Amino acid sequence: MDFLLQLLVNGLVIGSVYALAALGFVLIYKASRVLNFAHGDFLALGTFVAFALATSLRLPVIPAIILTLLCFFVLGLIVERVVLRPLIGKEVIAVIMVSIGLSSVIKGVMYLIWGPGYFLFPEFMPDVPIIIGDLYLSPVHLLGLAVSAAFLGLFSLFFKRSTLGVAMRAVADDQQAALSLGVSVRKIFAVSWGIALVSAVAAGVVVGSITSLSTEGLSTIGILVFPAVIVGGLDSVPGAVVGGLLIGVLENLTAGFIDPVLGVSLRSVVPFVVLVLILMMKPYGLFGTVEIERV
Amino acid sequence: MTQPATLGTPLAGSPAAAPGAAEPLLTVNNIEVVYHDVILVLKGVSLVVPKGQIVALLGTNGAGKSTTLKAISGLLSAEEGRVRQGSIIYQGRDIANADPASVVQAGIVQVLEGRRIFKHLTVEENLRVGTVTRRDGQIRQDMEMVYHYFPRLYERRHQLAGYCSGGEQQMLAIGRALMVRPQLLLLDEPSLGLAPMLVQEIFAIVRRINAERGTTILLVEQNARAALNVAHYGYIMENGRIVQEGSVAQLKNNPDVKEFYLGLTESGTRKSYRDVKAYRRRKRYM
Chain B nearest C-alpha distance from A116 (Å): 45
Determine the average pLDDT of the residues in B186-207: 93
Share of chain B above pLDDT 90, in %: 71
List of chain A residues whose C-beta atoms are within 8 Å of the C-beta of residue B130 = 181
Contact B88, B31 (CB under 8 A): yes
> Any idea which of A273-287, B83-97, B217-231 has the lowest mean pLDDT?
A273-287
Please tell me the predicted confidence (pLDDT) of residue B187: 96
Q: What domains sit in chain B, N to C, each tagged with a CATH number?
A: 24-120+181-246 (3.40.50.300), 254-286 (no CATH)
pLDDT bracket for residue A291 (50, 70, 90)? low
E-strand spans in chain A?
130-132, 135-137
- Residue A286: Cβ-neighbour burial (10 angstroms; 0-12, 13-18, 19+): middle
Rounded Cα gap, residues A28 and A95, in angstroms: 12
pLDDT the model gives residue B33: 95
Q: Which of B129, B159, B164, B185 to mutate to test the interface with A (most CBs of A within 10 A)?
A: B129
Query: Is the torsion defined by CA of B93, B96, B101, B104 positive or negative?
Result: positive
Name the percent of chain A lying above pLDDT 70. 96
Q: Which of A65, A2, A21 is nearest to A248 (CA)?
A: A21
pLDDT of residue A147: 85
pLDDT beyond 50 at B286: no
Query: What is the reported pLDDT for B281?
Result: 54
pLDDT for B16 equals 41
Query: Would an 8 Å CB–CB cutoff place A158 in contact with chain B?
Result: no
Helix axes A163-173, A2-32, angle to 10 degrees: 70
Model confidence at A136, pLDDT cuts 50, 70, 90, reads confident
- Output the pLDDT for position B66: 94
Contact between chains at B75 and A174 (C-beta distance less than 8 A): no
Looking at residue A209, its pLDDT comes to 84
pLDDT given at position B3: 44
Q: Which of A170, A173, A180 sits opposite B110 (nearest CB)?
A: A180
pLDDT value, residue B89: 96
CA of B104 to nearest chain A CA: how many angstroms apart?
5
Closest-CA distance of chain B to residue A211, Å: 39
Whether B138 and chain A come into contact, CB under 8 Å, resolves to no
**Do A290 and A235 form a contact (C-beta atoms < 8 A)?**
no
Report DSSP letters for chain B, one per residue: -PPPPPTTSPPP--TTS-SSSSPEEEEEEEEEEEETTTEEEEEEEEEEEETT-EEEEEE-TTSSHHHHHHHHHTGGGGGTEEEEEEEEEETTEE-TT--HHHHHHHTEEEE-TT----TTSBHHHHHHHTTTT--SS-HHHHHHHHHHH-HHHHHTTTSBGGGS-HHHHHHHHHHHHHTT--SEEEEE-TTTT--HHHHHHHHHHHHHHHHHH--EEEEEES-HHHHHHH-SEEEEEETTEEEEEEEHHHHHH-HHHIIIII-B-TTS-B--HHHHHHHHHHHHH-
Residue % of chain B over a pLDDT of 70: 85
| Inter-chain CB proximity B78 and A181 less than 8 Å | no
- The pLDDT of residue B283 is above 70: no
Average pLDDT over residues B190-214: 93
Give the Cα separation of A182 and A254 in Å (integer): 50
Q: Which residue has the higher pLDDT, A156 or B232?
A: B232
In tens, the pLDDT along A86-104 reads: 887 777 788 889 999 999 9
Region B251-264 average pLDDT: 82
Q: Say what the pLDDT of residue B11 is.
A: 41
Q: Do B163 and A177 touch (CB under 8 A)?
A: no
**ipTM for the predicted complex:** 0.83
pLDDT of residue B108: 96
Residue A156, chain B, CB below 8 Å: the answer is no
Band of the pLDDT at B256, cuts 50, 70, 90? confident
Q: What is the mean pLDDT of residues A100-124?
A: 88
Q: Which residues pair with B218 in a beta bridge?
A: B55, B186
Mean pLDDT over each residue of chain B, to the nearest integer:
86
Closest-approach residue (CA) in chain B for A184: B101
Residue of A nearest to B80 (CA): A89
Over residues B14-48, the pLDDT tens digits come to 344 444 557 899 999 999 999 998 999 999 999 99
Each residue of A24-56: pLDDT tens digit? 888 888 887 788 899 999 999 999 999 999 888
Strands B54-59 and B216-221: parallel
Q: Is B166 exposed, middle or buried (0-12, 13-18, 19+ CB in 10 A)?
A: middle
For the stretch A219-270, pLDDT in tens is: 888 888 888 888 877 777 788 888 889 889 988 888 888 888 888 888 888 8
Inter-chain residue contact A180 with B101, CB threshold 8 Å: no
According to DSSP, the β-strands at A135-137 and B54-59 are unpaired
Confidence of residue B258 (pLDDT cuts 50, 70, 90): confident
